[in-house]
Structures are given as structure tokens and as C-alpha cells.
Structure 1
């Protein structure tokens, strides 16, 4: 078992003012490489693994696997912190391709197993290595993640909206202490349990990016200098993300309320709007609305208005029905 350590960050008022949420398609792609290497630790994602492995048979992933090994450290140039709340995978891949070769080489030299042939070749010509890694990451994204991104993105959008409101309503302390058992906040200091990486000190007004993740579950990776400080945490509701076309809805639940309504009910483990559900399930918003109306009238789903938006979530009866199916 990896050694548990802690990264600690002292926040000023300026840091709190620069606290923001974002998510990263490239970051998820990189994290998923570890899921493929150790599926036994990530049984939650076995439906995705079974689906994508045949598609990956023709790809050479040796360099990416070498730069993203199992263990406490990866080559961070592959996961630049997101710069905008609505990510663009093309722009993120361009940032990977534009990584500084010298910094990329320093990071590659620190990964476990840096003596493997793919990493030695990378270190012999870092500029060419960065270009190759970025090209392979783009192909991997297109093959393994692009088709599933709408449902992952829907989960992230719902989570970012919920956490942003929690931060505004309850403050940073309550929000941080609710993120994950590895994360604690006390008297202006954020403490994150890590695997073998230590850090302690101020943020110096740089703020922090909070990044929900599907594939990093159940870990809470941290990134700091020389990058924008970032904290990645598992998004609640990860278990529902494969409900579209990868994880079949339970037969008993489908027989009771219909397959489409069963999928919607399963997807509502976390509150979501009609548009978020439509993206998550690849359905028309109008069709989602019709099924939500029936589910609400049946007492399986509740609705709550927040400003101009209406959020839907499973009721207690809906949770019970999903658990029993």
C-alpha cells in the first residue's frame, strides 16, 4: 500500500477570491489510462473497460502508459490545469503539444520506471517525445473517451453548478469538508491526503482550481508549482455515468416503469436539469421532459426551482426502487 502523506495549502482572502471550479476532458483521458492498467482497483469502470478494450487493440499505448504509470506520480505536462470553465478538448490537446520540452523531460525522469525503453527514448529527444505523446493522446481520446464524453460532461456540469452554489451559500470551509474524506479544511488551511507527495505552505494569491473527476476515483490528486494549484476529487454519482449504452438498466426496474424512464431514474442519483439529462443520456430535451413529468406524478422524482432552472432528483421512493432493482 502506498504511503499516506499530506499536501497543505494556506489560503489568504485573495486565494479564496480566485477559487474556481472547472473540469478537463484531457485530464480524464490521462486518468483513464491508469484505470486500464489496473482494472481490479477500478471495478466501478469495468463496463467502460470491456467496451473500449477491443477498440484499443490497434493503438500503441506504450509511451502513454510509461508516462502515466501506476503509483504516486505521473508526467504532469500531460494534464495542464483547465483554463476555462467550459473545456475544449482540442485546445487542451494543443496545450499538451506546446509543453516545454525541458520541463516535460524533468517530469518524465521522475516517473516510476523511468528506465523503460519508451521513457529513455522520450528523454533522448524531449521535443519529439512531447509531440508524439500529444498525438497519441489525441488518438486515444478519439478512440476511448470521445463517445462517452457527453454523459461524463453532464455529470460534471451538474456537480460544478451544485458546488459553486454551496461555496456561495455556506463558504469555503463547509464546501471543502464536504468534498471527500481525504480533504479537510480548518482555520484557512486546506489539507489533502496524498500518496507519497508532501507540500506545505501558502498559495501566495494564486488561488486554486477544483476539478471533479470520474476516472480518478477514489483518489484526490493535487497539482502545485510550477502549475496552477489544482485539486482533483471524485465527482458524486460516478456510478451513474455509464448508464447510457454501457451499463444496462436493471431488468426488473425497466419492466416496471419502462427502459427509458428507468435510465432517467438511475441517472438522477444527483440533481440535474432537463438539458443536463438530455446530454447525459443522448436524448431530446422534449422527450426527457415528458418522462420527467410522469416520474414526478408517480412520486419517484422531485423537482426544485433555482432561479430560472428546475432541478430534478430521485425521491426517497425513487432511491428505494433503484436500490431494490
Structure 2
């Protein structure tokens, strides 16, 4: 169990971030444990020929049997949306004295030994680190950046906008309660717990004191429950499963609009309005509908001018979602009032852990 003390200063400093490098490391689970992330399978199957041209022995060796990866592969984001290549430079600058201890921490307790492909890390940690960083860059450029990352980024951005709105409108208690069944908050302490006895016994126990630095929250496409990266001198970094991963499928079928709504708005705008239950970018909406971004922009402007949608900026992206008026017109309860589908991640007892 991990317990994080949260006073008023910590709550006030709580923030969100996304990390392309984190998702790169976590995505290696798709090649070792693909059944755990079914919505991602079609895209990763298309990547397989490119992936198999890389050093797959090295990349897959970085994932343990319980899907743990070494902490040095996922340096903490220093901005809300850091650039991949800047994060990669941070990875390359990892102090070499961290490499072997973190490899042992990841693999020895569960798997019994560090994989043979990584044993170089004992005698030549700098060489292994450079090799891993080079392969991460090739993996990113060859497999993830062309098609997968644009879709994933849209999902992650949408999740952050949704969570930020929840924090403002309904408070920290509701926010933490929606991040997964493993996470609980009693008004003073945030706890992450695991029920499976064998797994819980393998997870280090931490008590994180109040530091005034807040909690860093990060959605990910590769988790079934909340998990945390703990560094004693830094604030807690909590990862949680992003909402809307179903949109990572090959094609999202737009929901049908009723005749009255179509007569009022026209078929394209009525269909678009029904698709805006989650914040989404113009580019992603165009992909889902199979039309040009220009056509989507024209329809979104009309819906925005009519007060049926709202928009929010995250980084360089502008995300659109239905407004309360749009919800009423569409006959749909506003997001946040109905929780039947809010918790997308189901508890997976032997899933992710803090190391």
C-alpha cells in the first residue's frame, strides 16, 4: 500500500501531465502482454512488421513478467506536455549508478534474475543506457509517432480536460474516486492498495509525507488501475487509465441522430453533436468521421456559435465538447452526472505497481 499525505498545499499544487516517453515505455507491454490492452491490438498489429525490424530482444527484455519496467525509463515530466526528444535527452542523462539497481529491483523479486539481454548493465551501464535510448528513439520514430501517437494524444488530452473540469466542479474527492478502484482518499490521505496477496506482498510499501509540492496526475493508455512512481525527494506521481480508449479502434461508428435533431441541425452536425460527449480535437473528430478537418471546423463553428458546444485549450490543441445546452438538445445527461460508464478501468489484481 502507498499512502500519500495531502494537505491544503498539496491539493492546491496538484497538476496533470502527459508523457510521450512514458507511453513509449509502457507500450512495450503490448508486445509482451497484448491481451491486457485489447482496444490497442489492431493498431499494434499494423506496427508489427516495423517493430520486428528493431532490436525486439532488447525492447521486450525491458518488461518483466508482471509488466513492470525499470523506473529510469520513465523520467518524471517537468512540463504538462513535454516534447518526446527532450524527454529522451533526460533519459540519456540518467545517472549510470541508477541503472543496475533499478534493473534488479524490477526483475529479481518476481522473475528471479535480470534478463540475459540486460546483463551488460552491471559491467557497462552507460553503454546499455545509450543502447536503450537509441532503440527507444527508433521505436518511437518507426512505430508510434506516425499513426498511434496522434490518436493516443487526443485521448490523453481529452482525459485531462475532463478530469480538470471534474476537479473544479465537484472537488478533489470526486476526482480521486474516479481514477480507479485502487485509489481512495479520506480527506487527508490518498491511498493506493492492491488486493491480491501475492502481488501486494511484492509491492514496496511507502508513506509519502506532505511536501507542499502536490500530486502529479498522468493518464496512460497502458494500465488497468492506478499506480504510482515514488521518489523520496519529489511529490507523488500517480498514473491512471485514460478514459475513451475505445476510440483507439480502427473506426468509431457515429451514433445515429434522431429525425428531429437532424431536421434542426442537419445530419452532419447532429451526428457530430452526439459524438462530442468527450472533449476531442478537430483532427481526431475528422479521423473518426472520415472527413477533412476543414469540414469539421466549419460544423464546429456553427455548433459553437449556437452555444451547443464549448472548447478548451490544452497545450497546442483546442478540444471541443457538448455544452449543457448541447446535452439538453441531444437528450443526454451532462458528463459527470451519470457515472455508469465513468470508470473505464476494471481492477486487475496483478497489474501495475509502484516500484
TM (norm. structure 2) is 0.73
Instruction: List alignment gaps of at least 5 residues for structure 2.
Output: 257-261, 263-267, 314-318, 333-355
Instruction: List alignment gaps of at least 5 residues for structure 1.
Output: 1-5, 297-301, 318-325
Which residues in structure 2 correspond to 1:216-295 (within 5 Å)? Answer: 216=223, 218-226=224-232, 228-242=235-249, 247-250=250-253, 268=276, 270-272=278-280, 274=282, 277=285, 285-291=293-299
**Partner residue, 2:119:** 120
Is the Cα contact below 8 Å between 2:215 and 2:237 reproduced in 1? Answer: yes
TM (norm. structure 1) is 0.79
1:105 shift after superposition? 1.7
2:162, 2:60 → 1: CA distance? 34
1:66 shift after superposition? 2.1
1:189, 1:72 → 2: CA distance? 27
1:26 shift after superposition? 0.9
**Partner residue, 2:220:** 213
Q: Secondary structure at the match of 2:48?
A: helix
Q: Secondary structure at the match of 1:68?
A: coil
1:79 paired with 2:106, answer no
Indicate the larger mover: 268-277 or 179-188.
Answer: 268-277
| Count of residue correspondences | 304
Is the Cα contact below 8 Å between 2:4 and 2:210 reproduced in 1? Answer: yes
Indicate the larger mover: 270-279 or 38-47.
Answer: 270-279
Which residues in structure 2 correspond to 1:83-98 (within 5 Å)? Answer: 83-98=78-93
Superposed CA deviations along residues 256-302 of structure 1, whole A, max 9, x for unmatched, are x9xx98996896452335466458889754311345589x7xxxxx9
Q: Secondary structure at the match of 2:46?
A: helix
**Partner residue, 1:311:** 321
Q: Secondary structure at the match of 1:85?
A: coil
**Partner residue, 1:153:** 153
2:50, 2:274 → 1: CA distance? 27
Is the Cα contact below 8 Å between 1:34 and 1:70 reproduced in 2? Answer: no
Q: Secondary structure at the match of 1:111?
A: helix
2:122, 2:298 → 1: CA distance? 57
